[in-house]
Each structure stands twice: as C-alpha cells, then as structure tokens.
Amino acid sequence: MKRRDFLTFTTLAGSSTLLLPYVSAVNNHINKVPSKLKSKSKANEMKADVVIIGGGVGGCAAALASCRNGLQVILVEETDWIGGQLSQQGVPPDEHPWIETHGAPTAYRTFRNNVRNYYKRNYPLTPEALNREFLNPGDGNVSRLCHEPMVSVAVLMEMFMPYISTGQLQILLEYKATKAEVNRDDVVSVTVQNQISQHDITLIAPYFVDATECGDLLPLTKTEYVTGAESKAETKELHAADKANPNNNQSFTVCFAMDYVPGENLTIDKPENYAFWHDYVPQLTPAWSGRLLDLTYANPSTLQSIKASFEPTGKEVKGFNLWNYRKIINKNNFTAGTYKGDITIVNWPQNDYFLGNIIDASKEKIKMHVEAAKQLNLSLFYWLQTEAPRPDGGVGWPGLRLRGDILGTNDGMAKYPYIRESRRIKAEFTILEEHVGTENRKLVSGETTAAKFDDSVGIGYYRLDLHPTCQGDNSVDISSMPFQIPLGALLPQRINNLLPACKNIGTTHITNGCYRVHPAEWSIGEAVGMIVAYAEEKKVLPRAIRAQKDLLLDFQQRIQKQGLEIIWK
C-alpha cells in the first residue's frame, strides 16, 4: 500500500472500494474530464459556471444548490471522500434539538432521511429499528443521527448521481488548490494539483467558492482575512480576549474509530511517545483538571472537573460513559450476530490537540502537528487498552480494536483532521457575540432573541462552543440563541467573485463557535450556491443582491421556495 499525500496532511489512506461497489465505480469515473467541460485550447484547463474548492458539508451543499439551478459545476476535494465533517473527518453531526422538523434547509433534512433509509434498505436491522421513524444507527449521545462516515459518502453520491451522469457536475478527488490568478478584484482561475500524480489542472469560472476546511483560497487569491482571536477593543465582545492574537486558534482533532471484541487481547505496541502523553498535564488558563489521559476532564461550560466512565460492553454504568458519546453502531439495532460489538468514534476532550497552530503554518509544521495528534490518539488508545480504570475495579480493555476500515484508512485514523477554526474573510458584515450570545445580547440590547438580519439567507443554532486553543486558553462554552445567517457575512469586502462556504465566513473567534457545525455549514453552502446562480441569472455581483432591496427580497423569496429557512418560527 503506498502512502498518499492528501494535501499537507499526510495519511496512509485506504481506497474507496471500502464503500459499496457503485460508489467505487463512481469514484473511478468522476475524475475523468467530460469533454463539455474541457477547454478547447488546453487539455489541462477546465471551465464551468462555478468552481467549488472543498468537498465538505458546505461544498457539497453549494454544489447541489448550483446544480439544482442549472449551473455547470466543478467540485474539487483533496481527499478521496466527499463529505468533510460527516465523512473524512469522522464527526457525527452536531445538531440542535429541533433538527427533525425545522431549523435547516430541506435538502439537509433530505440528506438525513436518506441516511436512515440507506440503513433500512441495506442493513439487517431488527424489526423495531426498521420501523423506528427517527432511527439512530449508533444511538450515540451527541446526535440523533450517529452513523458510519462511509454511509455519508454513499448518500451524498446518490444525491449527486443525476448531475454526474449528465455531465453537469464534475468531481475531482484528491486534488488540492495550489495557486490562483487574480485580476484586480476578480479571481480568474485556480490551479489544482493531483495529490498522487502531481498533475495540474487550471480551473476557470465566473465564480469560485472556498469551501475548504482552513480557508485555503483566501491567501491564494489575496482575499483579506483574519485568523485567531480578536480583542475586546476590536469587537466589544464580552468573552473576547484582552489582547488580539491571530495565532490563537482552537485545537483540532484527528478522530479515530474503535470497537470491542470480548475475550481478545488486541493490545497494540506501546506508542513511541507514550511516556510524554501519559504524563502530560495541559497548561491552560483557567487550569485543566489534571492529566490529559484520564477519565477526569473539565466541564466545557463550568471548567469544573467531571469524572466520566468508560464501559464498552454495553453494561449500564453510573455517570457519563464516554463509549456511548459518539457511538455510530449500536449492535442491538441489528439482527443478532451482525456485529460482535458496538463501534464508536473517539472525538473527546482527551484527544483534542492544542500543542500547535496549523492555520497559516508551513507544510512541515502542519505535518508535524498532525502526526503528533495521531501519536496522542495512539497513546490514548493504548492507555484505554492497558490502564483505563474499569467500573469493576480492574484496569484496561485489551479487546479494544482500531477500526480504520470504518474511516477508509489503514492506520485507524480519520482521513483528515477535524478543523474547528479557519481563516475568516473580512466580510461586509461581521457577526459578533452581541448578535447571538445570550448574555452579551441581553447586556447590549436587552433582547432575549438573537439579532434579526434583514439580509438573512439561513438559520442555525448551536452553543458558542470553543475548545482549548493552541495558545493556552481553556474551553469557552456559553449560551447562544437560535440565529440567522446574514448575507453580509458571506461577502468579502473587496473580491467580487469568491464566496466562502465553510467556517471561513464573517464571524469572530467567538461566534465561529456556533456557526461551525454541520447544519449551519450546510445552510451556508446552500445559500452560496443559490447566490451564484442568482447573480449569474441577474447579471449582477453578489454584493448587489444585498445592496438592492428589490433584488434581496426576490432572492430571499426564491431560496425559501427551494427549502432554505431564513427566519425562526
């Protein structure tokens, strides 16, 4: 098996044949360039109405919306799986309590229903699970839809197939943006490079969408952006830092999957850096609760110590069982014998990596930190196998097994790190804590609901959830309110034809904490796809849609007819 470089993040990757055969066939097909998208002059050029760089949640939503409205689309993804947080990062969807009925675009809820139907069509579910309207395959605590990452890939590909078949959508897998050509305030082209062959393709379009996890197109296109933490003097936010620090970004996590095989001894070799991680005490302000590799950790909201448990056999235990937190397969939902045990994803406080910044860092430093994060994972896994306290008074669970096959890799780790904080555009409008934070909003305006934006193009909800940062800040997890997504936050101040569709919109370090989750990212991406289609139809720049009231109202009516929600009811 050869080593593949998925961008600057190096991982030992498996192949898409881990999916159902038709998905493998599609993956083999979609890198072939349809003749209608080829430049007549150069074989290494491709043209479309919109080029979307980044095949994560926002990128997929932008592609679906663009295709639905008749545009020719090129979607570029640096790994061999589309889906971002849902798939190659291994993160079950973080959602709000009303997600089953409202608070996200119709297309997002269609995706969720398709995931359930995928299990009902293809898996040997028990009669009870088969008839459960809101089936949760894993019954994990974190989400109403904890499911396998590769099912997300299969479902997204099903949604894309009509557009792929007609040549309207072209997906380039394992390609990364490496440079861009800009003419004053317009992006002319973006060059992407295949991560296996090093082959370059120049992509030309009237519009470009940056749906990458780290806002990669912003520096390439010289689009003005910010990173890290702003100061109170800049934003007047209640929880902003006293001093700005552009290098102070949230931790990232390389998730991993595991199951438990009773009676087996599957203990891995002691990891190379186990001694370091075993004794490591995070140096954070306010202080962490103790060693990182421990079942005691800090409550994100209060920073008081919590004593969790760990029990992978299905037995009931007192307190919070980490095994159940992001469990993606509950064996009891399937006919007896289908699974030996449950399967869970590890994305816990214990494997957040905050020893280095990877935003605007060199390739060498990014690779070093990602590899260190994997060493942390292996150390945590080995500790669980050998030293973790058991409810019965013993220590260690040697039957734990890494399940890289669930994540499409050979090393057990996700294909790509779970990135919580990106470069963020300097937008026409920046969302501040006073617009969405419960305490800050009451303090400034006395309001008990989030700010209402006349230019709303979507809605969402999540707490202002910031994980420990690479510069030593501990968690911030505070109350927010159901919010709107203002069009102004999706418009760069200067560049005309580049739009953000991930965590790179006009938020701050603080407000990024509630706009970064799955349904909000989908809402952002779908709105961006609609913006491009509308701007092309009306022959105006995206900022004109916001500036001209008649255009704005017409646009809002159109997107609502296509299932986007712009107000909370």
Six token digits for residue 112: 């969720």
Average pLDDT, rounded, for the chain: 93
Residue with tokens 């994972």: 377
Residue 477 is inside which H or E element, if any? strand 476-478
**Mean pLDDT, residues 6-25 taken together:** 35
The H-assigned helical ranges of 336-481 are 363-386, 404-407, 433-436, 438-445
Give tens-digit pLDDT for 87-100: 999 999 999 999 99
Q: What pLDDT score does 13 carry?
A: 32
Helix 106-122, helix 57-68: angle, nearest 10: 100
Distances (CA, A) of 264 to 260, 267, 350, 398: 9, 9, 25, 7
Report how far Cα 290 is from the mean position of its chain's Cα atoms.
Answer: 29
* Residues 501/211, Cβ–Cβ less than 8 Å: yes
The H-assigned helical ranges of 258-319 are 274-279
Give tens-digit pLDDT for 456-495: 999 999 999 999 999 999 999 999 999 999 999 999 999 9
Residue type, 520: A
Instruction: Return the beta strands (E) in 211-255 as ranges.
Output: 225-226
* Residues 164/29, Cβ–Cβ less than 8 Å: yes
CA distance 297 to 562: 44
All domains of the chain, ordered by start, with CATH?
A: 4-220 (3.50.50.60), 256-407 (no CATH)
Rounded (10°) CA dihedral 84, 89, 92, 97? -60
Name every residue whose Cβ is closer than 8 Å to that of residue 561 and which is 6 or more positions away in sequence. Answer: none
Q: What pLDDT score does 309 carry?
A: 96
User: Band of the pLDDT at 298, cuts 50, 70, 90?
Assistant: confident
User: Which of 346, 350, 253 is CA-nearest to residue 294?
Assistant: 350
Q: What pLDDT score does 213 carry?
A: 98
CA distance 341 to 500: 41
CA distance 146 to 226: 33
Give tens-digit pLDDT for 396-405: 999 999 999 9
User: Band of the pLDDT at 7, cuts 50, 70, 90?
Assistant: very low
* Residues 480/437, Cβ–Cβ less than 8 Å: yes
Rounded (5°) CA angle 64-11-343: 75
Q: What is the DSSP letter of 427?
A: B
User: Band of the pLDDT at 284, cuts 50, 70, 90?
Assistant: very high
CA distance 52 to 45: 15
**Mean pLDDT, residues 77-88 taken together:** 98
* Residues 76/205, Cβ–Cβ less than 8 Å: no
Name every residue whose Cβ is closer than 8 Å to that of residue 162 and which is 6 or more positions away in sequence. Answer: none
* Residues 484/517, Cβ–Cβ less than 8 Å: no
**Mean pLDDT, residues 515-540 taken together:** 98
Q: What pLDDT score does 31 carry?
A: 53
Name every residue whose Cβ is closer than 8 Å to that of residue 242 and which is 6 or more positions away in sequence. Answer: 231, 232
Q: What pLDDT score does 28 carry?
A: 46
Q: What is the DSSP letter of 199?
A: -
Give tens-digit pLDDT for 142-194: 999 999 999 999 999 999 999 999 999 999 999 999 999 999 999 999 999 99
Give tens-digit pLDDT for 119-128: 999 999 999 9
Residue with tokens 């119709």: 106
Name every residue whose Cβ is closer than 8 Å to that of residue 175 and which is 6 or more positions away in sequence. Answer: 76, 77, 78, 192, 193, 194, 195, 201
Q: What pLDDT score does 289 carry?
A: 85
Residue type, 368: M
Q: Is the peptide bond before 286 cis (omega within 30 degrees of 0)?
A: yes
**Mean pLDDT, residues 318-336 taken together:** 96
* Residues 49/36, Cβ–Cβ less than 8 Å: no
CA distance 82 to 54: 8
CA distance 94 to 92: 6
User: Band of the pLDDT at 137, cuts 50, 70, 90?
Assistant: very high
* Residues 201/44, Cβ–Cβ less than 8 Å: yes
Q: What pLDDT score does 42 carry?
A: 60
Q: What pLDDT score does 21 carry?
A: 37
User: Band of the pLDDT at 538, cuts 50, 70, 90?
Assistant: very high
Q: What pLDDT score does 397 carry?
A: 98
